[in-house]
């Protein structure tokens, strides 16, 4: 698995590098290799999972065998060492093997901690994994131990290393064996105790092994020496001092200085050879012993017992800090690459200095201010090391926190420096000492902030390698562990462990030795648990990867580091000078020196602040990237202009497939960077420069690929789409960079975060748009590589680390996975069908399957993460991956079949792959069902009920058409009892369903299945009952079917609510939804029973139908008023169209109220249902269109509700009239209908407001004309393209051979006919407008002298219609084989010419700036352009035919002469006909020209 994860990173890196490779061949090869590797990894992952399922229990035995083998190998190495034959392997050195052993020891400890935990819990799967990881870590440890032994020159050390390593192997074998036995008897106390004992023995052996490393023993000796020396502090009373106070004080100060210097030498020695650390730790131990003696001597000078206890306490703190320093040094020397180890060492050294300062402050009696200055100088000396090589984070501060820290501390430092100078002058030395202490703390804070800022500047350089955050921070665990240990040692902690609370309370009340022992015993389990957790957290798999700072990054750090070092040096000199001034304030030269140092400190702090601000991470990179993307946008604009003018140069050095693949690759990589850039811009300044530069590097390849692809695309529209979408992507990236630059990675700049989020969303949409275009283009030619990559990538993400925190329950993810799984199954079935009928449509289906699988994998990962138990999650993940393999094979076969549509073998393979996909979908569903059987049954039942609702809709259509008849001569009475009985059974199922939400999954599954079966039976018997009523009474049939349809919809909602409430507590909001759904269900079943009883009663069935309709409308209104967003949106025109149904239903309701006839009431009830439901659906869908503003949406929803409430009042009033018909009540119907009409008017105005300024009346003839003309243009262009593709025919062909082309021609003719019909209407409307304006007189239609122009626009439109009629005749003749391309060309030219005349006629009197004129002009131009294309294509085909006409030449002489004579005769005849045709055309034009108005003649001229 580790290899697969590592290889996945390699694949991702290779794909990211592909767009930046300039060598085309190398880029294609790298891309292909990455794809092959990704596919192979997916297969390997699946195979390994299957192998794991089969061989999982054998992993512990395998690990045991491995460890036994390692033990034997170490024994052999020991024998070789004894004989002097042990030699290092090639590449092994002492330093390398030492580091390997040190780092591996942590991995061994971590995996053993995991092994203990898993074995204690009885988890066989994870115990096997931990055993395998332990064996692998031990293998590395054994190799490193052998290498150390072979490389060392000391035979004793070599033997000790091999012996200790062998002890580790022996203990580890026992540990794995005990873990195996613990699994066999989970919960057994004896086995758990043995396991813990063996684990302690192994841990001890592991420590011994590490201690055998060169230099480690010396550190251990030093630690032991410190421990022995510290025992002097445990005596009850100290002997009185034999020295004077001044002598003791002087010795203590000198010992303190020596110990502080030794601590610095220990820190420095960790960076050198192992011998240096040995010497430094020995010296530190000696200095500590001297310091301790001096401290005890000083304690003897104490006047009171309390003072003595305080001094001893401080000495104990120094002892503990010293031990920690040596432990940190030892840890760093063993594993120099450990994250944050250097900072831990520096922190330990500072702790030693601080504890020394505390003791000095307590014990010494110097002139006021002197010891504060000494303490400050020691502190500054300690923190100076932070600035030496800041290649690790010093703290958790962000870059902007560093700036704030520098500003705040510089302010504090300025005030304290002024205080130092002022109080030295006035002689107030107590305040002087306080100012020195404050200044020291401020300088330490400044140094820490400067070091952290320098580190962040260094790693933010694009040439540096950014660090990677680990899963956990082991340093935090180590710090917490230390804090707990210290607190427990002091017995002053608040521990939230039940066993400790009582003992700590007892200890607090009585600090006796007995209570101390009880507390110590109670804390032992906690300490052990904390140590295990810390060991587990130190697993190398969890740790962060440290950053690698480049040379450029180091140069960027220099100004900050130089300023900070200058600040520290001048501050130290300033404090020394102030120290002397405190003793002798009357020394003028010293004051001058102090002023100089103060000035230097101020200048260095200003320089530090300036350097930090100037080096803000990511800003320079953002500016550079913005310039680069702006250049790319200009290049795209130039290419777009060239494409418009048809002068875009074609790239001949690469194929269109390669360009398409390049463009897809680069767009995908850009998409992957959107979220990281947004995250960096909001709060990770150090990452911003890296991500921004990476993004910018992709845009040059993007432009090259996009322009190259456009240059090779024949379709102009497709050309412009690719270029426009590429430009949109570049512009959205530019907006993203501006937002990122402003955010700058500052988490406190919250005002920029919304802009960053919005820019990221726009960029994602741009990526999605261009990917859809590319996938469609690729699928059309059978290129499926990108789709296969997408599926493989989605599969790899299933196993990618820890999934994000789930935002829903397993049920939510289960529902979504089922939806996408079924969608994939449906697509697979369609692909089977299309492979036989329309192979060219397979590409779109493959693209759909790819998108669905992407969503499925994402949701499947979350479903697996939230499933219980874990085995179910593992099964879901495996099944989804297997489905991914099936999808890949199916998509590949679809691509192959598109390339060769007639290959029967590939068709068979595709059908087999589609069947395999369907089977794997069923396996995914079964895995989900195992995870939650009840909710899965609910999903299945809901699907079945939705099918019943659709079937009932179809039945209503048959009933409305009067074709729903009974098969036998049955009456409704034959079915009534059966309906009532089944309805009651459904009520019982409903009760079980509601109670099932709170019970087991099995009961819930049973209730869901039972309710689905019962509703199916009920729907069938109600349909039979409705049919038995006879087709003579369709309205009553519809009433009955609507009643069962209401029940089915209510059941569907109830099943959904039950699924959502499953396993939830009683006070969960989903439980209230469940109760509401159950109430609606009972209401609708009751309504069905009433309808069944009243259906044969002619006196009441209308009333009953109206009551049911009122209830139905109320339920629909509740859905409409809910906050749930509709799945799809519709246009405002659709919303307006649906209001017509309300108007008709209102009129029908008023009529029914006046007549009081039951038939009218039933018809009203049925019509009202459909009209109100359609209106509410259309209104909500239109309101939630993305382009609709919040204000307009609220208005539309308000008036939709108002309209429905008004209509409900109208129906309720009609119901009242039916129960008590009076003239007064009937007279009130008008006022109710007016309220509905008013609401409908407001609703229509709201819909018009949705369109904004672009609102057009769909009934406007001008709009219809424009639409029809554009449709005609599209049809003509399609026909022209088809004509260009035709090959010249050698002899007359049969009609069926060119049927596709002829169908295109006929379609074009039909479209133009529709367009001309609309044009005539539009021209009539325009003519009426001109007459109304007085621009044209009302001329009689039969005026002879005006000829064809007598009616202006109308006559021009009629000419278009006549030309269209000719085109239709030519097309018809062409289909029948009686006409040539020439006639088609002539007809098309006539259409274009007459359209032009229509536009001229419009220009004569109409307003040139009117919207209608502009739209008609554009539509007319489109027709003319399309007609010209058709003419050119037809001419080209005719020319080709003429050139390639096959002439059969007769070989006999006489026959040949006769053939020549006949040809010459034909030619002369055609020439004469041509001349006559030209004369005829000239006469027609002369006759028409004299009738033209003056304006048109000038226009023509």
Mind listing the pLDDT tens digit for each residue in 860-870? Answer: 988 888 887 77
Q: What is the DSSP string of 411-449?
A: HHHHHHHHHHHHHHHHT-HHHHHHHHHHHHHHHHHHHHH
Is residue 1007 predicted with pLDDT exceeding 60? yes
Neighbours of 1020 (CB within 10 A): 15
Q: Write down the pLDDT at residue 914.
A: 93
Strands (E), 1341-1496: none
Positive/negative CA dihedral, 1393, 1395, 1397, 1400: negative
Between CA 1170 and CA 555 the distance in angstroms is 75
Radius of gyration of the chain (CA): 45
Dihedral, CA atoms, 1233, 1239, 1242, 1244, nearest 10 degrees?
-80
Specify the length of the chain in residues: 1501
Choose between 92 and 365: higher pLDDT.
92
Read off the pLDDT band of 1297 (50, 70, 90): very low
- DSSP H helices, 18-123, are 24-55, 59-82, 94-121
Q: Write down the pLDDT at residue 659.
A: 83
* Half-sphere CA count of 1169, side-chain side, radius 13 A: 22
The H helix count followed by the E strand count for the chain is 49, 0
pLDDT digits (tens, 9 = 90+) for 1406-1432: 666 666 666 666 666 666 666 666 655
Read off the pLDDT band of 627 (50, 70, 90): very high
Q: Which of 770, 752, 631 lies closest to 710 in space, CA to CA?
A: 770
Residue carrying structure tokens 């009520």:
987
Residue 434 to residues 249, 420, 440, 581, 1464, Cα–Cα distance (Å): 22, 9, 10, 16, 124
Q: Write down the pLDDT at residue 430.
A: 84
Q: Write down the pLDDT at residue 494.
A: 37
Q: Write down the pLDDT at residue 531.
A: 67
Between CA 487 and CA 688 the distance in angstroms is 41
pLDDT digits (tens, 9 = 90+) for 89-133: 888 888 788 878 877 887 888 788 888 888 877 777 778 888 888
Task: Indicate the SS3 state at residue 542.
Answer: coil
Choose between 800 and 1352: higher pLDDT.
800
Positive/negative CA dihedral, 675, 676, 681, 682: positive
Q: Which of 782, 780, 790 lies closest to 850 in space, CA to CA?
A: 790
**Widest CA span of the chain, in angstroms?**
153
Mean pLDDT within 1200-1226: 89
Between CA 948 and CA 944 the distance in angstroms is 6
Is residue 161 predicted with pLDDT exceeding 70? yes
Residue 1206 belongs to what H/E stretch? helix 1190-1219
- Cross-strand bridge partners of residue 465: 548
1489's CB contacts (< 8 A; 6+ apart) are 1497
pLDDT digits (tens, 9 = 90+) for 180-197: 888 877 777 777 788 888
Q: Write down the pLDDT at residue 1299.
A: 38
Mean pLDDT within 753-758: 91
Mean pLDDT within 1058-1070: 75
Question: Is residue 25 packed enough to be buried (19+ CB in 10 Å), middle (13-18) or exposed (0-12)?
Answer: exposed
Between CA 74 and CA 53 the distance in angstroms is 33
Lowest mean pLDDT among 154-163, 266-275, 657-666, 903-912: 266-275
> Is 549 within 8 Å of 458 (Cβ atoms)?
yes
Reported for 427-434, long-range contacts at CB under 8 A and 24+ positions apart, including other chains, are 427/585, 429/367, 429/368, 429/369, 429/582, 430/368, 430/369, 432/368, 432/369, 432/372, 432/578, 432/582, 433/368, 433/369, 433/371, 433/372, 433/373, 434/372
Highest mean pLDDT among 348-362, 466-480, 1275-1289, 1305-1319: 348-362
Between CA 90 and CA 213 the distance in angstroms is 20
Q: Can you read off the two tokens belonging to residue 1011?
A: 């309710």
Mean pLDDT within 493-508: 50
Q: Which of 473, 480, 479 lies closest to 526 in space, CA to CA?
A: 480
Between CA 68 and CA 1345 the distance in angstroms is 117
Q: Which of 109, 117, 159, 156 lies closest to 134 in space, CA to CA?
A: 109
Residue carrying structure tokens 């549509």:
901
pLDDT digits (tens, 9 = 90+) for 993-1006: 888 777 777 788 88
Q: Write down the pLDDT at residue 1280.
A: 52
Mean pLDDT within 911-925: 92
Read off the pLDDT band of 853 (50, 70, 90): very high
Q: Write down the pLDDT at residue 880.
A: 92
Between CA 1273 and CA 520 the distance in angstroms is 92
Residue carrying structure tokens 């129906």:
1211
Question: Is residue 1188 packed enough to be buried (19+ CB in 10 Å), middle (13-18) or exposed (0-12)?
Answer: buried
Q: Write down the pLDDT at residue 1326.
A: 57
pLDDT digits (tens, 9 = 90+) for 71-100: 899 888 988 888 888 888 888 888 788 878
pLDDT > 70 in the chain, percent: 78
Whole-number average pLDDT of the chain = 79
Residue carrying structure tokens 């050119």:
1432
> Is 166 within 8 Å of 189 (Cβ atoms)?
no
């Amino acid at each position: 698995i580790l290899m697969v994860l590592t290889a996945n990173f390699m694949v991702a890196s290779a794909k990211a590098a592909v767009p930046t490779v300039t060598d085309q061949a190398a880029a294609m090869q790298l891309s292909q290799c990455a794809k092959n590797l990704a596919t192979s990894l997916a297969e390997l992952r699946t195979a390994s999972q299957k192998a794991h399922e089969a061989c999982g229990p054998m992993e512990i035995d395998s690990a045991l065998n491995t460890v036994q083998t390692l033990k034997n190998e170490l024994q052999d190495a020991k024998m070789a060492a004894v004989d002097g034959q042990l030699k290092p392997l090639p590449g092994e050195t002492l330093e390398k093997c030492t580091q390997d052993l040190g780092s591996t020891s942590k991995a061994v400890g971590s995996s053993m901690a995991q092994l203990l935990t898993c074995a204690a819990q009885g988890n066989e799967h994870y115990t096997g994994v931990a055993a395998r990881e332990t064996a692998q870590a031990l293998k590395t440890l054994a190799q490193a131990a052998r290498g150390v032994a072979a490389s060392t020159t000391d035979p004793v050390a070599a033997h000790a290393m091999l012996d200790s390593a062998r002890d580790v192997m022996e203990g580890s074998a026992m540990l794995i064996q005990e873990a195996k036995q613990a699994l066999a008897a989970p919960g057994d106390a004896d086995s758990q105790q043995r396991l813990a004992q063996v684990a302690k023995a192994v841990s001890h052996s592991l420590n011994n092994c590490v201690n055998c490393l060169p230099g480690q023993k010396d550190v251990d000796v030093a630690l032991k020496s410190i421990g022995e020396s510290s025992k002097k502090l445990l005596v009850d009373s100290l002997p009185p001092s034999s020295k004077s106070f001044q002598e003791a004080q002087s010795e203590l100060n000198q010992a303190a200085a020596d110990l502080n210097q030794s601590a610095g030498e220990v820190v420095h020695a960790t960076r050198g050879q192992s011998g240096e650390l040995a010497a430094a730790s020995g010296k530190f131990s000696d200095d500590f012993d001297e310091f301790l003696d001096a401290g005890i001597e000083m304690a003897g000078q104490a006047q009171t017992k309390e003072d003595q206890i305080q001094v001893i306490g401080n000495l104990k703190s120094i002892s503990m800090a010293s031990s920690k320093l040596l432990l940190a040094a030892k840890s760093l020397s063993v594993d120099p690459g450990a994250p944050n180890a250097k900072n831990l060492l520096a922190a330990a050294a500072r702790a030693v200095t601080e504890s020394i300062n505390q003791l000095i402050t307590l014990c010494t009696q110097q002139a006021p201010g002197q010891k504060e200055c000494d303490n400050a100088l020691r502190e500054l000396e300690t923190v100076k090391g932070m600035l030496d090589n800041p290649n690790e984070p010093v703290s958790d501060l962000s870059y902007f926190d560093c700036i704030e820290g520098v500003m705040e501390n510089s302010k504090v430092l300025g005030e304290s420096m002024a205080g130092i100078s002022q109080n030295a002058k006035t002689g107030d030395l107590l305040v002087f000492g306080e100012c020195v202490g404050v200044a020291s703390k401020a300088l330490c804070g400044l140094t820490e902030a400067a070091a952290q800022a320098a580190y962040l500047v260094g790693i933010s350089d694009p040439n540096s390698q950014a660090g990677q955050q680990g899963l956990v921070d082991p340093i935090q665990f180590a710090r917490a562990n230390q804090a707990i240990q210290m607190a427990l040692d002091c017995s002053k902690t608040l521990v939230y462990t039940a066993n400790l609370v009582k003992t700590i309370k007892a200890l607090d009340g009585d600090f006796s030795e007995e209570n101390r022992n009880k507390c110590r015993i109670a804390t032992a389990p906690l300490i052990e648990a904390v140590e295990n957790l810390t060991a587990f957290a130190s697993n190398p798999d969890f740790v962060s990867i440290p950053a690698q700072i480049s040379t450029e990054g180091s140069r960027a750090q220099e100004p900050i580091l130089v300023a900070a070092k200058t600040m520290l040096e001048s501050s130290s000199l300033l404090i020394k000078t102030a120290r002397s001034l405190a003793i002798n304030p009357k020394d003028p030269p010293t004051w001058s020196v102090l002023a100089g140092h103060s000035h230097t400190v101020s200048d260095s702090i200003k320089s530090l602040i300036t350097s930090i601000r100037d080096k803000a991470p990511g800003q320079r990179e953002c500016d550079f990237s913005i310039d680069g993307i702006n250049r790319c946008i200009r290049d795209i604009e130039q290419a777009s202009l060239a494409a418009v003018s048809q002068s875009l140069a074609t790239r001949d050095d690469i194929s269109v497939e390669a360009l398409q693949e390049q463009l897809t690759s680069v767009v995908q990589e850009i998409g992957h960077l959107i979220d990281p850039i947004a995250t960096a811009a909001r709060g990770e300044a150090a990452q911003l420069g890296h991500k921004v530069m990476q993004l910018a590097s992709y845009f040059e390849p993007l432009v090259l690929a996009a322009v190259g692809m456009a240059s090779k695309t024949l379709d102009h529209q497709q050309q412009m789409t690719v270029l426009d979408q590429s430009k949109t992507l570049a512009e959205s990236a530019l907006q993203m960079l501006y937002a990122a630059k402003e955010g700058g990675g500052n988490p406190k700049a919250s005002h920029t975060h919304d802009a960053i989020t919005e820019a990221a969303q726009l960029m994602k949409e741009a990526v999605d748009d261009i990917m859809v275009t590319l996938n469609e283009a690729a699928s059309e030619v059978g290129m499926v590589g990108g789709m296969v990559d997408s599926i493989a990538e989605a599969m790899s993400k299933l196993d990618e680390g820890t999934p994000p925190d789930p935002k829903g329950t397993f049920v939510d993810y289960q529902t979504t996975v089922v939806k996408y799984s079924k969608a994939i199954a449906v697509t697979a079935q369609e692909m089977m069908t299309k492979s036989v009928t329309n192979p060219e449509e397979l590409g779109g289906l493959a693209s759909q399957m790819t998108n669905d699988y992407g969503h499925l994998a994402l949701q499947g990962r979350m479903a697996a993460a939230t499933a219980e138990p874990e085995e179910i999650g593992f099964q879901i993940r495996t099944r989804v991956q297997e489905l991914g393999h099936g999808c890949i094979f199916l998509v590949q076969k679809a691509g192959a079949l598109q390339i060769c549509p007639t290959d029967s073998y590939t068709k068979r393979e595709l059908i087999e792959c589609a069947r395999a996909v369907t089977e794997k979908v069923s396996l995914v569903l079964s895995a989900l069902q195992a995870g939650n059987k009840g909710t899965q049954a609910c999903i299945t039942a809901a699907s079945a009920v939705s099918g019943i609702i659709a079937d009932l809709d179809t039945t209503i259509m048959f009933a409305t058409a009067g074709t729903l008849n009974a098969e036998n001569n049955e009456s409704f009475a034959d079915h009534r009892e059966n309906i009532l009985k089944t309805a009651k059974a459904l009520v019982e199922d409903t009760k079980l369903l509601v109670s099932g939400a709170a019970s087991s999954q099995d009961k819930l599954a049973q209730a869901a299945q039972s309710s689905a079966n019962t509703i199916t039976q009920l729907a069938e018997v109600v349909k039979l009952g409705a049919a038995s009523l006879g087709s003579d009474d369709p309205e009553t049939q519809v009433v009955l079917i609507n009643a069962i349809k209401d029940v089915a919809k209510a059941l569907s909602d109830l099943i959904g609510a039950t699924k959502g409430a499953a396993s939830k507590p009683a006070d969960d909001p989903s439980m209230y939804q469940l109760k509401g759904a159950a109430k609606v269900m009972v209401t609708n079943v009751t309504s069905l029973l009433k309808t069944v009883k009243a259906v044969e009663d002619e006196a009441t069935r209308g009333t009953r139908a109206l009551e049911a309709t009122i209830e139905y409308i109320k339920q629909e209104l509740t859905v409409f008023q809910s906050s749930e967003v509709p799945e799809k949106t519709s246009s405002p025109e659709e919303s307006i169209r649906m209001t017509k149904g309300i108007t008709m239903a209102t009129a029908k309701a008023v009529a029914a109220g006046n007549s009081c006839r039951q038939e009218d009431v039933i018809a009203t009830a049925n019509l009202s249902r459909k009209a109100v439901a359609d209106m509410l659906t259309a209104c909500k869908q239109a309101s939630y269109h993305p382009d609709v503003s919040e204000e307009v949406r609220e208005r539309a929803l308000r008036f939709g509700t108002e309209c429905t409430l008004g209509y409900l009042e109208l129906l309720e009033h009609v119901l009242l009239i039916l129960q008590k018909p009076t003239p007064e009540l009937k007279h009130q119907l008008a006022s109710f209908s007016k309220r509905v009409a008013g609401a409908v008017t407001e609703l229509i105005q709201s819909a018009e407001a949705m369109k904004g300024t672009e609102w057009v009346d769909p009934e406007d003839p001008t709009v219809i004309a424009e639409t029809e003309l554009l449709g005609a243009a599209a049809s003509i262009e399609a026909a022209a393209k088809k004509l260009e593709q035709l090959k010249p025919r050698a002899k007359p062909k049969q009609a069926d051979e060119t049927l596709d082309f002829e169908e295109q021609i006929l379609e074009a003719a039909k479209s133009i006919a529709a367009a001309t019909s609309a044009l005539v209407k539009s021209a009539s409307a325009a003519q009426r407008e001109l007459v109304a304006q007085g621009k044209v007189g009302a001329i009689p239609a039969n005026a002879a002298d005006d000829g064809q122009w007598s009616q202006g626009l109308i006559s021009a439109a009629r000419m278009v219609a006549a030309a269209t009629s000719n085109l239709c005749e030519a097309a018809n003749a062409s289909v029948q084989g009686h006409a040539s391309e020439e006639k088609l060309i002539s007809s098309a030219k006539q259409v274009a010419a007459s359209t032009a005349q229509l536009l001229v006629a419009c220009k004569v009197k109409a307003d040139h700036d009117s919207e209608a004129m502009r739209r008609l002009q554009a539509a007319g131009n489109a027709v003319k352009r399309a007609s010209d294309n058709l003419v050119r294509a037809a001419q080209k085909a005719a020319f080709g035919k003429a050139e390639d006409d096959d002439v059969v030449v007769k070989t006999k002489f006489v026959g040949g002469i006769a053939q020549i004579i006949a040809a010459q005769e034909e030619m002369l005849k055609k020439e004469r006909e041509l001349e006559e045709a030209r004369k005829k055309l000239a006469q027609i034009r002369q006759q028409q020209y004299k009738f033209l108005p003056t304006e048109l003649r000038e226009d023509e001229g």
